[in-house]
Amino acid sequence: SQQGEEDPQALSIQEGENATMNCSYKTSINNLQWYRQNSGRGLVHLILIRSNEREKHSGRLRVTLDTSKKSSSLLITASRAADTASYFCATDENQGGKLIFGQGTELSVKP
């Protein structure tokens, strides 16, 4: 069964604006990860946040995790055209230890 589900499915913004993407999941998790996928390329790991962490930063990226709501958000500040990509959250299932990916948010940043 699919674990992470991203919202919105597609997001279009202007350069310089902030982009927020959300991920919801169904079962308890140990960790949650965010990945970026540029068109025609493989996924690139952005951030891993553990279940006992609430917030994590990496450059212009900020990830929050709310385990009580089973949700996470990825904020990209001061977006650039180069941020145009699909963004995926991935969660681990406690039992199987498998990493389950959502279907992604397609972000388009217009110059």
Partner 1 sequence: DTAVSQTPKYLVTQMGNDKSIKCEQNLGHDTMYWYKQDSKKFLKIMFSYNNKELIINETVPNRFSPKSPDKAHLNLHINSLELGDSAVYFCASSQVPIQGQSPLHFGNGTRLTVT
Does residue 90 interact with partner 1 by CB under 8 A? yes
Residues 63 and 55: beta-carbon distance below 8 Å: yes
Q: Where in 55-74 is the site for partner 1 (CB under 8 A)? A: none
Between the alpha carbon of residue 10 and those of residues 5, 50, 71, 103, 105, the distances in Å are 13, 26, 18, 11, 5
Site map 11..40 versus partner 1, x via CB under 8 A? ------------------xxx-x-x-x--x
Cα separation, 49 vs 28, whole angstroms: 14
Sites of contact with partner 1 (CB under 8 A)? 2, 29-31, 33, 35, 37, 40-45, 48, 86, 88, 90-92, 97-99, 101, 103-104
